């Protein structure tokens, strides 16, 4: 078993709607979809972000696109101009997400 | 079989017009749609208009885009839809007419859509018992009523389509939904009915993939940004639709990339529930959608479904929230992070002495954790031998004078704090903080009208 960054097997993009951040996460290869489904859950994502994300996290599964959509509420310090963060629009939430450490079995990737 | 091609010309107010100009010159398209409005853009425009009534729209639509390629678009019969009208649609229409008259474009038809801005209707709606519940937070709308800059409903494609039916060469709107600007020409060309949900959904997704400009053609591309050719000439995406097919491509002889992955990353951008992507025109279901590379820089989009449109319209209310000040000081090796933290600590102790009453303070370190915040690696190992670090303190208060208290305390730290502090970004100033109150309104409150004027 090995610990890797999610970035190695996934890619995606973050967007903002008010104080809600969405991050779409796609498998870099079709066989990685199952690993992401297993390792990247609302619970593990919440643990990764800690108090950076204050609200609920919902995962939507999109097997036909080989990916997932994560919707994270109260994740942008207020959102848009209200946020005091440098990245008030959460443009880097996508890369922050991909920094999550996940576990893969030997031979899985 | 009839094919309609539409290009995405603009991702936001301030975006480069280069790709739109290139498209007009080189791509085989019949329409371009240009989105200028992000969530808070209307509030910024409303504020500009209060200071100067001739402002309040995106003048660069005329001064940068039309001036450069608008006449050529007209000669080639490429029609343009845009929400550049912002808060001042008549001002935008006048500027377009002046430009077209100066270019001697006799017969040029300017369509425009009014009725999205409903600030003046708020008192009556409140009297009738409408409460404007906030999507994101609890709160009483009455607490912000006196501080509102703008109230705009996200409107659909119908009135834009009407302008096109009436022969408009360009259509100007205020807060039309970004994707409605793209759906309107497609519905007009294919004669889609207002309850043809599957087709309306296809048109909306064409808009969705194009409304962010370069982001749909290899910009902001996490999968493999190094593989995107010629980002200095990044082309913007083009959607080609027939009754049966829907493909994304781009203009010839420009940079950028249309691949399965580049389209995917834009496909879910700012989408919440993929089975219920709500727009004023249709409730879109992309939960079973497919994306297939069918040629170089060409991706086919399939299996998009639509359901009946929502009965209410999303309303965006921009209001004055308070004030903020952002101050920065930079530090270099050795111990850059430690010195920056020490400096922030000194400043906050001083602010305590000064009795600063901030409603919120956010301290971060550019080069360390200002983007990734708590997810950033600030371990001793990662911080050892850090070259540089910028301390950043952001303060929010509803009271402007409280925000001003920190400003004179920053520059003295160059001489009075840890070694090597350098004043960064100039003297800070107090900035207004505007906020959004996302809510909804019944459709029948609005009086949407399509108009047309001829040069």
Q: Are the Cβ atoms of B39 and A17 closer than 8 angstroms?
A: yes
pLDDT band at residue B136 under the 50/70/90 scheme: confident
> How close, in Å, is residue A107 to chain B by CA atoms?
23
> Is B432:A75 a contact under the CB 8 Å cutoff?
no
Which residues, at least 6 apart from B284, have a Cβ–Cβ distance to it below 8 Å?
Answer: B201, B204, B205, B276, B277, B278, B304, B305, B306, B307
Q: Select from A81, A91, A95 the residue whose CB has the most chain B CBs within 10 Å, as the one to mutate to test that interface.
A: A81
**Cα→Cα distances B144→B150, B240, B321, B436, B442, Å:** 12, 44, 8, 10, 20
B368 to chain A: which residues are within 8 Å by CB?
Answer: none
Look at residues B387, B455, B345, B377 and name the one whose alpha carbon lies nearest to residue B101: B455
Nearest CB to B364: which of A22, A50, A86? Answer: A86
Q: Please tell me if residue B324 touches chain A, with a CB cutoff of 8 Å.
A: yes
Element (H, E) at B434: strand B430-442
Option in B222, B366, B436 nearest A80 (CB): B436
Per-residue pLDDT at B55 exceeds 80: yes
Chain A, 27-56: which have a CB under 8 Å from a chain B CB?
28, 48-52
pLDDT, tens digit (0-9, with 9 covering 90-100), for B141-193? 999 999 999 999 999 999 999 999 999 999 999 999 999 999 999 999 999 99
How far is it, in rounded angstroms, from Cα B298 to Cα B296? 5
Mean pLDDT across the stretch A8-35?
96
Cα separation, B416 vs B414, whole angstroms: 6
- pLDDT tens digits for range B95-119: 999 999 999 999 999 999 999 999 9
Mean pLDDT of chain B: 97
The per-residue pLDDT for B425 is 76
Asked if A92 lies within 8 A of B394 by C-beta distance, the reply is no
pLDDT interval class at B279 (50, 70, 90): very high
> Could you please report the per-residue DSSP string of B116-150?
-B-GGGHHHHHHTT-----SSS---GGGTGGGEEE
**How far lies B346's CA from each of B140, B331, B395, B426, in Å?**
38, 15, 15, 20
Residue B287 contacts A where some CB pair is shorter than 8 Å: yes
Nearest by CB: B375 against A48, A77, A78? A48
For domain A2-104, the CATH class is: alpha beta
Q: Is residue A80 within 8 angstroms of chain B, CB to CB?
A: yes
Domains of chain A, residue spans:
2-104
- Region B6-16: mean pLDDT is 97
The answer, for B358 touching chain A at a CB cutoff of 8 Å, is no
Per CB-CB distance under 8 Å, the chain B contacts of A17 are: 39, 270, 272, 438
**β-strand pairing of B283-285 with B277-278:** antiparallel
In sequence order, the β-bridge partners of residue B442 are B312
Grouping H, G, I as helix, E, B as strand and the rest as coil, residue B93 is: helix
The answer to whether the Cβ–Cβ distance between B271 and A50 falls below 8 Å is: no
Q: Which CATH class is domain B322-432?
A: alpha beta
Task: Please give the backbone phi and psi of residue B278, each rounded to the nearest 5 degrees, phi first.
Answer: -85, 130
Split at pLDDT 50, 70, 90, the class of B94 is: very high
Percent of chain B surpassing pLDDT 90: 97
Number of residues assigned to chain B: 455
**What distance in Å separates the CA atoms of residue B152 and residue B355, rounded to the nearest whole number?**
40
Cite the residue boundaries of each domain of chain B with CATH code 3.30.70.260: 322-432
Assess whether pLDDT exceeds 90 at residue B344: yes
Judge whether B355 and B401 are in contact, CB under 8 Å.
Answer: no
pLDDT tens figures, B345-403 = 999 999 999 999 999 999 999 999 999 999 999 999 999 999 999 999 999 999 999 99
Quick check: B329 and B390 in contact, CB under 8 A?
yes
What average pLDDT score do residues A93-102 get?
Answer: 98
Q: A51-90: per-residue pLDDT in tens?
A: 999 999 999 999 999 999 999 999 998 876 688 999 988 9
Q: Omega before B225 cis (within 30°)?
A: no
Partner A contacted by B223 (CB < 8 A): yes
Over residues B2-27, the mean pLDDT reads 97
């Amino acid at each position: 078993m090995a610990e890797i960054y999610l970035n190695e097997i996934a890619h995606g993009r973050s967007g903002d709607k008010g104080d809600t951040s969405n991050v779409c996460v796609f498998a870099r290869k079709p066989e990685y979809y199952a690993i992401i489904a297993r390792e990247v859950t609302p619970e593990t994502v919440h643990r990764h972000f800690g108090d950076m994300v204050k609200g609920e996290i919902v995962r939507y599964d999109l097997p036909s696109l080989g990916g997932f959509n994560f919707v994270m509420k109260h994740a942008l310090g207020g959102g848009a101009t209200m946020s005091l963060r440098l990245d008030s629009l959460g443009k880097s939430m996508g890369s922050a997400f991909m920094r999550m450490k996940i576990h893969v079995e030997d031979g899985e990737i | 079989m009839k094919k309609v091609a539409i290009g995405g010309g603009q991702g936001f107010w301030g975006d480069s017009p280069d790709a739109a100009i290139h498209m007009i010159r080189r791509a085989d398209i019949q329409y371009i749609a240009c989105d200028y409005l992000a969530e808070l853009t209307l509030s910024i425009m409303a504020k500009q208009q209060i200071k100067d009534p001739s402002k309040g729209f995106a003048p660069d639509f005329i001064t940068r885009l039309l001036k450069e390629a608008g006449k050529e678009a007209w000669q080639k019969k490429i029609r343009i839809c845009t929400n550049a009208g912002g808060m001042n649609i008549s001002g935008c229409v006048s500027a377009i007419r002046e430009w077209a008259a100066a270019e001697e474009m006799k017969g040029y038809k300017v369509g425009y859509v009014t009725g999205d801005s409903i600030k003046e209707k708020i008192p009556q709606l409140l009297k009738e018992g409408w409460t404007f519940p906030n999507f994101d937070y609890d709160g009483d709308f009455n607490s912000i009523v006196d501080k509102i800059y703008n109230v705009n409903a996200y409107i659909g494609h119908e009135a834009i389509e009407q302008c096109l039916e009436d022969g408009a060469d360009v259509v100007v709107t205020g807060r039309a939904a970004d994707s409605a600007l793209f759906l309107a020409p497609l519905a007009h060309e294919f004669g889609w009915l207002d309850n043809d949900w599957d087709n309306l959904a296809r048109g909306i997704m064409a808009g969705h993939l194009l409304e962010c400009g370069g982001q749909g053609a290899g910009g902001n591309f996490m999968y493999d940004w190094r593989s995107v050719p010629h980002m200095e000439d990044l082309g913007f995406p083009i959607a080609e639709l027939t009754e049966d097919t829907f493909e994304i491509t781009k203009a010839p002889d420009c940079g950028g990339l249309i691949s399965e992955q580049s389209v995917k990353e834009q496909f879910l951008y700012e989408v919440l529930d993929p089975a219920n992507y709500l727009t004023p025109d249709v409730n879109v279901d992309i939960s079973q959608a497919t994306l297939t590379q069918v040629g170089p820089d060409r991706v086919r989009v399939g299996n998009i479904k639509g359901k009946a449109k929502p009965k209410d319209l999303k309303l965006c209310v921009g209001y004055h929230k308070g004030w903020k000040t952002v101050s920065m000081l930079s530090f270099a090796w050795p111990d850059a992070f430690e010195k920056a933290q020490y400096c922030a600590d000194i400043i906050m102790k001083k602010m305590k002495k000064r009795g600063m009453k901030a409603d919120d303070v956010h301290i971060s370190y550019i080069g360390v954790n200002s983007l990734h915040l708590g997810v950033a690696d600030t371990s001793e190992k990662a911080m050892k031998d850090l070259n540089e670090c910028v301390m950043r303190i952001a303060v929010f208060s509803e009271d402007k004078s409280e925000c001003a208290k920190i400003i004179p305390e920053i520059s003295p730290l160059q001489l009075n704090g840890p070694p090597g502090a350098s004043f960064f970004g100039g003297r800070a100033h107090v900035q207004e903080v505007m906020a959004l109150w996302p809510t909804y309104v019944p459709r029948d409150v609005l009086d949407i009208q399509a108009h047309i004027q001829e040069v």
